[in-house]
Amino acid sequence: MALSPVACLGLAGGGACVPRRLRPAPRLLAYRCERQDGDMRAILVEQFGVRPTVADVPDLNAADHGVTLRVQATGLCRSDWHGWQGHDAGIRLPYVPGHEIAGTIAAVGRKVHGWSAGDRVTAPFVLACGTCAQCRDGNQQVCLNQEQPGFTYWGSFAEYVAIPRAQANLVRLPDGLSFDGAASLGCRFATAYRAVRQVGRASAGEWVAILGCGGVGLSALMIAAACDARVIAIDISPDALALAAAYGAAHTLAPAPGIAQSIRDITGGGAHLSIDAIGSAEVVQLALRSLRPRGRHVQVGLLPAEVSLDLTVLIAGELQWLGSHGMPAHDYRQMLELVNSGAVRPDELVTRVIGLDDVPDALAAMNTASTPGVTVIRPWA
């Protein structure tokens, strides 16, 4: 890469986790190739699907309404892979991925109150505006003017990241929770919490089929088990299933012909709740066939644009088909109470800690498989 500082101007924009109609306008950012005072290291994607580089990009100034975070740990979510693959037409190249953040406040914008340098924080990946109709109704996870680090602007695979609209989105971390353990609270653990408890309404004694036991699925499993629900965990990876068993799955199954019947047999007629924590057309069909009448399905995994669904099955069984997208900052308190109680342990889901230099390989490896558990990046390691 031999671009001059001026020639390196780029646009960042998009939103892999954002429904298309909700995408905000892109914002102008810049990067340069020769390190200068005030630069920071970051992962830079210049072409979709092409190995990114570790580059020097300009350090950040906190916006009036925002803060700058020193990124202490940032999770590698499959949504980062989707973005890198170009599955969201809205991301503008070049860009810095990363949306699952735990860090310390490095700088505070002049209109931000109640937050100070050094505070340990996270924020939901959907950074809500706090003022639109959805925000006013408490549904910041579907804010009409949302921003997302790593999608609509440059993200957290970097030494620092900006968090705009800090007042509406910052969440203070409990002292006892490590940064590595807290990173997934920015996306997958919180998303799983909302999917299981608020959207899926899992309750004690119910059967929950969790399809996919990666970061989202294992988080969902831990949370469902804490509700005293009975979990059937499904994954193609024996290592992922071993983790699922360790975190409380009552049954673990590998996909095979007849698996829907196996789920119906184990559950005495079908699961009450299914959660797609993969994002696959086949898995959606499996979920449909695994539910009991009046069962609920929660779609978390990002799907290809066209997935067909036999709606007659939905109607005949009075099934409920529900989407789930992140979690608003104001709901973090109840999730953190559960974390503080020890009933759920997001830090135990972390199976691998890597540095920025390892990210290109780690992203490329996601083309063919998932590393069991949660991978966390420490940009300063």
Ligand X SMILES: NC(=O)c1ccc[n+]([C@@H]2O[C@H](COP(=O)([O-])OP(=O)(O)OC[C@H]3O[C@@H](n4cnc5c(N)ncnc54)[C@H](O)[C@@H]3O)[C@@H](O)[C@H]2O)c1
Give the interface with ligand X as residue ranges (CB under 6 A): 17, 77-79, 82, 187-188, 191, 212-217, 234-237, 240, 255, 277-280, 282-283, 300-302, 324-326, 370
Q: Which partner, Zn ion, ligand X, none, binds residue 129 by CB below 5 to 8 Å per kind?
A: Zn ion
Distance of CA 24 to the CA centre of its chain: 19
Report the nearest approach of Zn ion to the CB of residue 75 (Å). 7
In the chain, count H helices and then E strands. 12, 17
Q: Which is nearer to ligand X, 282 or 357 (CB)?
A: 282
Residues comprising the chain, all counted = 381
Q: Which is nearer to ligand X, 32 or 251 (CB)?
A: 251
Residue in the shown chain whose Cβ atom is closest to ligand X: 214
Q: Which is nearer to Zn ion, 10 or 215 (CB)?
A: 215
Tokens encoding 363: 């992203």
Report the nearest approach of Zn ion to the CB of residue 182 (Å). 14
Q: Which partner, ligand X, Zn ion, none, binds residue 128 by CB below 5 to 8 Å per kind?
A: Zn ion
Contact 290, 209 (CB under 8 A): yes
Q: Which is nearer to ligand X, 88 or 159 (CB)?
A: 88
CA distances from 100 to 80, 182, 340 (A): 9, 9, 20
Q: Which partner, Zn ion, ligand X, none, binds residue 123 by CB below 5 to 8 Å per kind?
A: none
Q: Which partner, ligand X, Zn ion, none, binds residue 82 by CB below 5 to 8 Å per kind?
A: ligand X
Q: Which is nearer to ligand X, 158 or 240 (CB)?
A: 240
Q: Which is nearer to ligand X, 108 or 271 (CB)?
A: 271
Q: Which partner, ligand X, Zn ion, none, binds residue 324 by CB below 5 to 8 Å per kind?
A: ligand X
Q: Which partner, ligand X, Zn ion, none, binds residue 143 by CB below 5 to 8 Å per kind?
A: Zn ion
Report the nearest approach of ligand X to the CB of residue 214 (Å). 2
Q: Which is nearer to ligand X, 208 or 300 (CB)?
A: 300
Q: Which is nearer to ligand X, 8 or 234 (CB)?
A: 234
Report the nearest approach of ligand X to the CB of residue 159 (Å). 23
Contact 308, 123 (CB under 8 A): no
Where do we find the tokens 């699907």? Answer: 49
Cβ atoms < 10 Å from Cβ of 123: 28
Report the nearest approach of Zn ion to the CB of residue 122 (Å). 13
CA angle at 12 for the pair 8 and 16, rounded to the nearest 5° = 145
Distance from C-alpha of 122 to C-alpha of 100, rounded to nearest angstrom: 8
Q: Which partner, ligand X, Zn ion, none, binds residue 326 by CB below 5 to 8 Å per kind?
A: ligand X
Cβ atoms < 10 Å from Cβ of 380: 11
Strands (E), the chain: 9-12, 27-30, 39-44, 53-58, 67-75, 101-108, 120-122, 160-163, 171-172, 207-211, 230-234, 251-253, 271-276, 291-299, 320-323, 350-354, 374-377
Report the nearest approach of Zn ion to the CB of residue 202 (Å). 21
- Give the interface with Zn ion as residue ranges (CB under 5 A): 77, 79, 128-129, 132, 135, 143, 187
Report the nearest approach of Zn ion to the CB of residue 159 (Å). 20
Report the nearest approach of ligand X to the CB of residue 191 (Å). 4
**In sequence order, which residues have a C-beta less than 8 Å from that of residue 271 and are 6 or more positions away?**
207, 208, 209, 232, 263, 290, 291, 292, 295
114: left (phi over 0), alpha (psi -120 to 50) or beta: left
